[in-house]
Chain A
Amino acid sequence: MLEVKNLHANINGKEILKGINLEIKAGEVHAIMGPNGSGKSTLASVIAGKEDFEVTEGSVVLNGEDLSDFAPEVRAHKGVFLSFQYPIEIPGVTVTNFIKTAINETRKAKGMAELPAKEMLQLIREKADLLEIDRKFLSRSLNEGFSGGEKKRNEIFQMAMLEPQLAILDETDSGLDIDALKVVANGVNKLKSEKNAVLLITHYQRLLDYIVPDFVHVLYNGKIVKSGGKELAYELEEKGYDWLK
């Protein structure tokens, strides 16, 4: 599904990604771990198409199609979803209106008609229940005044609504207490299928107890230095990152 080939990326002339190779097949869960500043969030942003980064070499290919020239919204339409580490507050736009706009813009891009209001409402309710989100919450301004946990839960709610092929979860576990983590993980697990894939980006092995990865990669200084199965996460938890340097 996703092939990242020899990906190099700069920001303000400074090279952050120094040749990343990664292949994710449908139905798989991959985890990327690594110390602070290793380039984890950069990798997520580059796949999602953030324009601040300049791709100097290599490519990101989704279902055989090179995404390099596509704007972030086009990537989203093609099935990429990025759950933000720090979701942005948008005062004046409610959660409901935001997700409605996102869904209908995505449908428009695919040449589909807008989702009828009744079906939209039904879908919103169903997915809100999945994430144990209070209905009242949906009429609040997006992320404004949300707690860390509420923001992350809301990210996964949007993911549930948009049903992406590739979901990249950037430190979705940070700022979550154990109960919220379980709800979020449960949501992600329920959304997982043979047709989609998940890329988890995390510091800690904790999240991986709840969303079990098929592969774990260690990112260090802009490169993947080691890959393995889920047992690699435990090894990292025990030994830290130093032994890989």
Chain B
Amino acid sequence: MELKEKLVSSFLAFENKGNIDLDSSVHALRLKAIHNFEKDGFPTKRDEEWKYTSLNPLLKYDFSLFPNAEKSVGFKNIEAYLINDIESYTLIFIDGVFSSFMSETTHEDCDVCVLSSALARPKYKMVIDNYLNTITNKNNSLSELNTAFVKEGAFINIPKNTIVPKPIQIINFSTGSEKEVLLQPRNLIVVGENSHVQIIERHQNLSKNTTLTNSVTEIFVHKRAIVDYYKIQNDTNESSLIDSTFISQKQQSVASVNTFSFGGKITRNNLEFYHEGEDITSNLNGISILNDKQHVDNHTLVNHKFPNCESHELYKGIYADKSVGVFNGKVIVQQDAQKTNAFQQNNSILIDDGATINSKPQLEIFADDVKCSHGCTIGQLDESALFYMQSRGIPKKEAKALLLYAFGNDVVEKIKIPQLKALISKLIAKKLNVQLGFEL
């Protein structure tokens, strides 16, 4: 049976399981979503938005849709993937099931807990009704698929005037308890007026088995709130990720999403920012360092609807072997969005002849008093710079790494959590297979 049919036919069973007492509105959401998915199916390369990324290599697997959680996974199996040297709230999911034992949640000043419990409790009905699935892109059939099976993920609800004292780590592990697993985590994050939160998200396969994760995150950033979101994508070559993240911002808010892609088989990041007020700042940063046949597709959208807003987008990529990068950055400046400042940059280095980057800046500007720019460079390592460094005694391998390190450094510099910055620097050094005697 094809994956699409399998998913559609599993839907009823999933709905009838009813192990949680859901509000009827959630059932309605799911039902509508499965119909949409059934109608549209998985995107193909004929879709303009999927021209450079084919899901075909993934759809051939016979995924287990509701894997049993591996009970034997303990803290020792996962601690390498956590940032341990900081205080943090942690939400750990094992094969899609929340592990309360290994997590640290809170309900004190804010809610850092899980969606399944929020869906089941009348206390959160208002939040769920007001926010869940309200800003997803209904043309994104994968996001619809996720909604059809919406059940578990992070639920972060921060009231106004709250600075969350420590970062929140959301980590989804797959254990390979079954040969091929499809996971569909769903995160809902609501940040109240004047509040501030830092979130780190990671997906990690602990086995050699195949995992496909179809993740959806909705983030609501209210007036003057600040959200710093970090995505660490350094999974195994058997793991693929389709991430759709939708962000709605109210006036004077600042939202930053930083995406670090170093691993995985196929990674697709759909990142969409919607402005719902003036004086908003949106920051989109990313760095991809790929080798083998890894494929990362960053598809971003910033929709400027109101005046006096800013967006800053910087994506860098280093591609070795037969790896493939895709950058599609769409910026829409609507007619009323006067005095918009929108900047976009995509710089890529191709290290090997077999590597590919498809870069597509897309600016649609309907206002006349705006500052918008985009820059796109694709190049190779500068041979004269290498000779210069070699002539000072730095071996070619280290010289290359130093140049690449320096190339990506302005993205790393944006990280506001020092321990995370150190981790990312370490991952980059590891990926480039060098040790540098200093931190840039």
A97 and B384 within 8 A (CB): no
- B402: A residues at CB distance < 8 A: 90, 93, 101
Q: Write the chain B residue with the least CB distance to A114.
A: B437
CA distance A88 to B392 in the complex (A): 12
Which residue of chain A has the shortest Cβ distance to B438 in the bound complex?
Answer: A97
Residue of A nearest to B388 (CB): A88
Q: Residue B38 at the A interface, CB < 8 A?
A: no
In the assembled complex, A198 has its CB within 8 A of some CB on chain B: no
Per-residue CB contact flags for chain A residues 109-120 toward chain B (1 = under 8 Å, else 0) read 100001000000
What's the nearest-Cβ distance from chain B to residue A144, in Å? 10
B394-419 at interface with A (beta carbon < 8 Å): 394-396, 398-399, 402-403, 405-407, 409-410
Given that A90-B406, A92-B405 are contacting pairs, would A71 and B393 also be in contact in the complex, using a CB cutoff of 8 Å? no
B407 closest partner in A (C-beta): A92
Contacting pair A162 B392 (CB below 8 A): yes
A131 to chain B minimum Cβ distance, whole angstroms, is 16
Cβ contacts B251-288/A at 8 Å (1 or 0 each): 00000000000000000000000000000000000000
Contact A73 B406, CB 8 Å, known A97-B440, A100-B437, A101-B398: no
* Chain A residues within 8 Å of B407, by CB: 92
Contact of A76 with B by CB under 8 A: yes
Does B436 sit at the interface, judged by CB under 8 A?
A: yes
Verify A73–B437 contact, CB threshold 8 A.
no
Q: Would you call A195 an interface residue if the criterion is a C-beta within 8 Å of the partner chain's C-beta atoms?
A: no
Query: Does chain B have a CB within 8 A of A229?
Result: no
Contact at A101–B405, with CB atoms within 8 Å?
no
- Say which residue of B390, B392, B399, B405 sits within 8 Å of A158 (CB atoms): B392
Docked complex Cα distance between A242 and B391 (Å): 34
Q: B-facing mask of A75-104, CB < 8 A → 1, else 0?
A: 111001110100110111100011111111
Q: How far is the CB of B333 from chain A (nearest CB, A)?
A: 30
B385 interface residue per 8 A CB criterion = yes
Whether B393 lies near A105 (C-beta < 8 A) is yes
User: Residue of B at shortest CB range from A110?
Assistant: B393
- Tell me, yes or no, whether B382 is within 8 Å of chain A by CB: yes
For the complex formed, measure the closest distance between the CB of B216 and the CB atoms of chain A, giving whole angstroms.
35
B438 touches A73 (CB 8 A): no
Partner of A101, one of B388, B394, B396: B394
Nearest chain A CB to B153's CB is how many angstroms away? 37
Bound-state CA distance A1–B53 (Å) is 59
The 8 Å CB contact of A77, one of B382, B393, B438, B440, is B393
Pick the most buried of A73, A88, A103: most chain B CB atoms within 10 A of its CB: A73
B384 — nearest CB in chain A belongs to which residue? Answer: A88
In the docked arrangement, what's the CA distance between A146 and B438, Å?
A: 23
Chain B interface, number of residues (Cβ within 8 angstroms): 27
Tell me if A206 counts as interface (CB < 8 A to partner B).
Answer: no
- A87 contacts B388, C-beta separation under 8 Å: yes
Nearest CB in chain B: distance from A52 CB, A: 8
CA distance A77 to B390 in the complex (A): 10
Query: B interface, by DSSP: helix, strand, loop or mixed?
Result: helix
Contact of A73 among B385, B390, B403, B410 (CB under 8 A): B390
* Cβ-based interface call for B387 (8 A): yes
Shortest beta-carbon distance from B372 to chain A in Å: 24
Q: How far is the CB of B318 from chain A (nearest CB, A)?
A: 13
Closest to B436 in A: A101
Chain B residues positioned under 8 Å from A75 (CB to CB)? 391
What residues of chain A lie closer than 8 Å to B436, measured between beta carbons? 101
Indicate if the CB atoms of A71 and B406 lie closer than 8 Å: no
A51→B393 contact, CB < 8 A: no
Q: Tell me how far the C-beta of B386 lies from the nearest C-beta in chain A, rounded to whole angstroms.
A: 9
Q: Which residues of chain A are near B390, meaning CB under 8 Å?
A: 49, 71-73, 76
B59 → chain A, closest Cβ, in Å? 41
Whole-angstrom distance between the Cβ of A111 and the nearest chain B Cβ = 14
Whole-angstrom distance between the Cβ of B288 and the nearest chain A Cβ: 17
Q: Which of A87, A92, A101 contacts B437 (CB 8 A)?
A: A101
Q: Which residue of B384, B391, B436 has the most chain A CB atoms within 10 A of its CB atom?
A: B391
In the bound complex, how far is the Cα of B388 from the Cα of A114, in angstroms?
22
Contact: B396 with A71, CB < 8 Å?
A: yes
- Which of the listed residues A84, A87, A92, A114 has the most CB atoms from chain B within 10 Å of its own CB? A92
User: A residues within 8 A CB of B394?
Assistant: 73, 101-102, 105
Determine if A50 is an interface residue (Cβ-Cβ < 8 Å): yes
List residues of chain B with CB within 8 A of the CB of A71: 390, 395-396
**With the chains together, A49 CA to B387 CA distance in Å?**
9
Complex CA–CA separation, A34 to B410 (angstroms): 44
Contact with B along A35-69 (1 / 0, CB 8 A): 00000000000001111100000000000000000
**Does A106 interact with chain B (Cβ within 8 Å)?**
yes
CB distance from A172 to the nearest CB of B (A): 14
The CA-CA distance from A80 to B390 in the complex, in Å, is 11
C-alpha gap A180/B145 in the complex (Å): 68
A151-195 residues with Cβ-Cβ distance < 8 A to B are: 158, 162
Contact: A90 with B437, CB < 8 Å?
no
The 8 Å CB contact of B393, one of A84, A97, A109, A114, is: A109
Write out the residue numbers on chain B whose beta carbons fall within 8 Å of the beta carbon of A80.
Answer: 391
**CA of A72 to CA of B397 in the docked complex: distance in angstroms?**
12
Residue of B395, B403, B406 near A105 (CB, 8 A) is B395
Nearest A residue to B383 by beta-carbon distance? Answer: A52
Taking A71-B395, A73-B399 as given, write out 13 further A-B residue pairs in contact, using a Cβ cutoff of 8 Å, ordered by the A residue number: A49-B391, A50-B387, A72-B390, A73-B394, A76-B393, A81-B392, A92-B410, A93-B405, A97-B440, A101-B402, A104-B437, A109-B393, A141-B406
14 contacts between A and B (CB under 8 A): A49-B391, A71-B396, A72-B390, A76-B392, A84-B391, A87-B388, A88-B385, A90-B403, A92-B406, A93-B402, A102-B389, A105-B395, A105-B398, A158-B392
Give chain B's interface residues, CB within 8 Å of chain A. 382-385, 387-396, 398-399, 402-403, 405-407, 409-410, 436-438, 440
Q: Which 9 A-B pairs give the minimum distances between C-beta atoms?
A: A92-B406, A72-B390, A76-B393, A106-B393, A88-B388, A102-B392, A92-B409, A73-B390, A93-B406
